[in-house]
A and B are shown apart, each in its own frame.
Chain A
């Protein structure tokens, strides 16, 4: 019962290629910002800590290209950023492409270009100095166990990116924790700004040079692509406008986060005091919510379900952040958990819908 269009007109208006193109368009602003910010952070951190002669191949490459003691202008930031982002991206793309090809051949289906989007998203969740082996390991795990074995695009119940990133975070918890340049990032699990706040309060954040606007625009140290809330919102606007991602889901997350932060603010002090507008811009909350939580295949499919899922996830993220200081960010595990929960939420929504229909017709 398929209408393969012989005329190429009628049923191609919402082709899967359109969805994939739109997704790539939506991450374009994030990508540009990610490259520039990674390079910029590298350069200022390099100048600040005056780290030279590291054995890191990235540093050597940048020194070869640009020489030492650089001013962080836009060109050198771009170049330093590309040196950090491109190898990770290429490794992720190649690995994901190979797995896609393997599964396409094994299952006798067509090669699907959706892996490009996944590889880019995965790159954004990596530490700028990540070991390429870890990249290959993580994206392989995601592509195989959260995509390939379920049959590819749109058939998995978890986002391959989330699974891959979670596996890297869990498998290498201590990696790069005390990097000389990226000293504001707690290894693979994201920014330490939440931990800084936990330990030292607002003075800690101020001392690290983080203002709210910095965190919003994203000129802070962090995972490659997740620092900028502004760029993520721009991409999210494209997704929502093209009706690929659900605005309800995004607003639900924000609502859950705001309510949970206010509740914790009234309960106790310490990190629980962190106000909601800081929760919104710190860590990978905005990026994760806009690009990962709204993955249509692994989130709720009913509108009431989307609200519920968003509110639960937003609340859980705050909970994990404030009562579990060992995990500074909390976005990845919460999104995974809630993805798994989403069929149950949908099940309940469907049950209510059926019950309502039955009641309307008197049994």
Chain B
């Protein structure tokens, strides 16, 4: 097992892009001191959902994007670390656990399908999945991370089972050895194989397929389960999570223990000697570019990928520059090679879905199963398709449209 290095950072942030479809109401102002676990933002539509500070310190910046959406809320570490202590005495029934998750901000780690948004606290899921498998390139091994705090993981899973009161599946790889969870509701589902096998979308497709608004499973990552267990055991939010840092620009993949939303610039300054790199929060396939106001670890990301910056490869055909008519005007088409079938999310016809997304046909995309998917499920298709289209972003547009229509009906 690789050594896990503890890395303290001086800056951390909450990123708006981690929560698609959420409009934030900021509760603090730039310059305010905050303690770790203190609410700093909340969901404008569902004020019960609180977003809490990942570290204690001072709010240093609030950067906003289009339509005054929140890009990032940055916090710089203060002189003394103060942590909010939550009352965890009463965690016996579902409602009190739900309340604790909302107060501590762990609720925001939950995701629901369809749409991949934070679920509504008043809703009940039809199934609950704990993703304890990660098949993305260079990702940390969940088995090893859970082995650091096995009691916290079991406790967290038990609490979640108690809270949702529906079947809970722990999705793991067949050879992973996870701590036992003492709850009749919890069962283990095993998934083997290369990359899409570890995505919640695949697990949901197998275990509890999403339909036209009738079925809404929730899922959560294994590190957030550990955080919940830690919270229930100690009353304080878990200060750190384990991430791997690796990629073609680094010699080896390392494991680090950092705070939620930690500043990636600070992390890589130590690790990377070569200055010309591009850093991605998350995996090579569907991570986010970490630069500027967004160079912080994403909420659902368990890894940091570092890529060397290279100039575009020299065209294999030297005459091309001779024939170039308008540089950069080359829009490559979608060529439906059989590669795409292997990269497709299960049960979805890849090319019809990609075509529907390309032309923005919301209805057809929904009929073909867009409600089962989020951006990360389309990442492999973007990767393989020669047209270099970001199908995840197109899918999000379609999902936003569908969500708007659904809320208009309700």
Q: Which A residues lie at the B interface, using CB under 8 A?
A: 1-19, 21, 101, 104-105, 108-113, 151-155, 243-248, 296-297, 301-303, 346, 349-350, 353-354, 357-358, 360-362
Given that A1-B390, A2-B388, A154-B334 are known contacts, is A104 also in contact with B351, CB under 8 Å in the complex? no
Of residues 374 through 389 on chain B, the ones whose CB sits less than 8 Å from some CB of chain A are 382-386, 388-389
Report the bound CA distance from A110 to B350 in whole Å. Answer: 27
| 1/0 contact string of B135-164 vs chain A (CB within 8 Å) | 000000000000000000000000000000
Q: Which 9 A-B pairs have the closest CB atoms?
A: A361-B211, A154-B333, A110-B330, A111-B323, A301-B351, A301-B336, A16-B386, A354-B367, A243-B339
Q: In this complex, what residue of B is CB-closest to A297?
A: B335
| 1/0 contact string of B331-368 vs chain A (CB within 8 Å) | 11111111101100001011110000000000000011
Are A9 and B310 in touch, CB under 8 angstroms?
Answer: yes
Q: Which B residues lie at the A interface, using CB under 8 A?
A: 209, 211-212, 214-215, 248, 278, 284, 307-313, 315-317, 320, 323-339, 341-342, 347, 349-352, 367-369, 382-386, 388-390, 393-394
Besides A110-B330, A296-B335, 10 other CB < 8 A contacts? A3-B390, A15-B332, A16-B332, A16-B333, A109-B329, A110-B326, A110-B329, A151-B333, A354-B367, A360-B209
Q: B351's contact among A9, A17, A302, A361, by CB below 8 Å, is which? A: A302
Report the bound CA distance from A39 to B221 in whole Å. Answer: 66
Give, as a whole number of angstroms, the nearest-CB distance from A301 to chain B: 4
Are B325 and A108 in touch, CB under 8 angstroms?
Answer: yes
Given that A13-B383, A301-B351, A302-B351 are known contacts, is A8 also in contact with B311, CB under 8 Å in the complex? yes
* Contact partners of B330 in chain A: CB under 8 A: 109-110, 112
Q: In this complex, what residue of A is CB-closest to B367?
A: A354
What are 20 A-B residue pairs whose CB atoms fall within 8 Å in the complex? Answer: A1-B390, A2-B389, A3-B390, A10-B284, A11-B388, A14-B386, A18-B386, A154-B334, A243-B339, A245-B338, A296-B335, A296-B336, A301-B349, A301-B352, A302-B351, A346-B352, A349-B349, A357-B367, A357-B368, A357-B369
Given that A3-B390, A353-B368 are known contacts, is A9 also in contact with B352, CB under 8 Å in the complex? no
* Contact partners of A302 in chain B: CB under 8 A: 349, 351-352
Are A361 and B209 in touch, CB under 8 angstroms?
Answer: yes
Are B384 and A109 in touch, CB under 8 angstroms?
Answer: no
Q: In this complex, what residue of A is CB-closest to B351?
A: A301
Counting residue pairs across A and B whose Cβ atoms lie within 8 Å, the total is: 150
* Contact partners of B315 in chain A: CB under 8 A: 17
Interface centre among B328, B341, B384, B385 (most CB of A within 10 A): B341
Report the bound CA distance from A292 to B193 in whole Å. Answer: 34
Interface centre among B309, B338, B342 (most CB of A within 10 A): B338
Give, as a whole number of angstroms, the nearest-CB distance from A296 to chain B: 5
Given that A3-B382, A3-B388, A7-B308 are known contacts, is A109 also in contact with B326, CB under 8 Å in the complex? yes
Q: B324's contact among A14, A110, A151, A155, by CB below 8 Å, is which? A: A110
Q: A155's contact among B278, B333, B350, by CB below 8 Å, is which? A: B333
Are A243 and B337 in touch, CB under 8 angstroms?
Answer: yes
Q: B385's contact among A14, A245, A354, A361, by CB below 8 Å, is which? A: A14
* Contact partners of B309 in chain A: CB under 8 A: 6-7
Report the bound CA distance from A362 to B209 in whole Å. Answer: 12
Q: In this complex, what residue of A is CB-closest to B342?
A: A243
Report the bound CA distance from A151 to B308 in whole Å. Answer: 35
Q: In this complex, what residue of A is CB-closest to B350?
A: A301
Give, as a whole number of angstroms, the nearest-CB distance from B137 to chain A: 11
Are B323 and A101 in touch, CB under 8 angstroms?
Answer: yes
Are A350 and B368 in touch, CB under 8 angstroms?
Answer: yes
Q: In this complex, what residue of B is CB-closest to A244?
A: B337
* Contact partners of B325 in chain A: CB under 8 A: 104-105, 108-111
Give, as a whole number of angstroms, the nearest-CB distance from A14 to chain B: 5
* Contact partners of A108 in chain B: CB under 8 A: 325-326, 329
* Contact partners of B326 in chain A: CB under 8 A: 108-110
Q: B312's contact among A1, A5, A154, A248, by CB below 8 Å, is which? A: A5
Report the bound CA distance from A155 to B327 in whole Å. Answer: 21
Give, as a whole number of angstroms, the nearest-CB distance from A99 to chain B: 13
Are A243 and B338 in touch, CB under 8 angstroms?
Answer: yes
Q: B352's contact among A1, A153, A350, A357, by CB below 8 Å, is which? A: A350
Q: B307's contact among A2, A9, A154, A245, by CB below 8 Å, is which? A: A9
Q: In this complex, what residue of A is CB-closest to B215?
A: A361
* Contact partners of A244 in chain B: CB under 8 A: 337-339
Are B383 and A7 in touch, CB under 8 angstroms?
Answer: no
Report the bound CA distance from A111 to B321 in whole Å. Answer: 9
Q: A9's contact among B248, B316, B369, by CB below 8 Å, is which? A: B248
* Contact partners of B209 in chain A: CB under 8 A: 360-361
Are A7 and B388 in touch, CB under 8 angstroms?
Answer: no
Are B211 and A362 in touch, CB under 8 angstroms?
Answer: yes
Give, as a whole number of angstroms, the nearest-CB distance from A58 to chain B: 29
Are B307 and A17 in touch, CB under 8 angstroms?
Answer: no
* Contact partners of A248 in chain B: CB under 8 A: 338
Give, as a whole number of angstroms, the nearest-CB distance from B142 to chain A: 25
Are A111 and B324 in touch, CB under 8 angstroms?
Answer: yes
Are A19 and B310 in touch, CB under 8 angstroms?
Answer: no
Q: In this complex, what residue of B is CB-closest to A101?
A: B323
* Contact partners of A152 in chain B: CB under 8 A: 333
* Contact partners of B310 in chain A: CB under 8 A: 7-9
Q: B335's contact among A19, A21, A113, A360, by CB below 8 Å, is which? A: A19
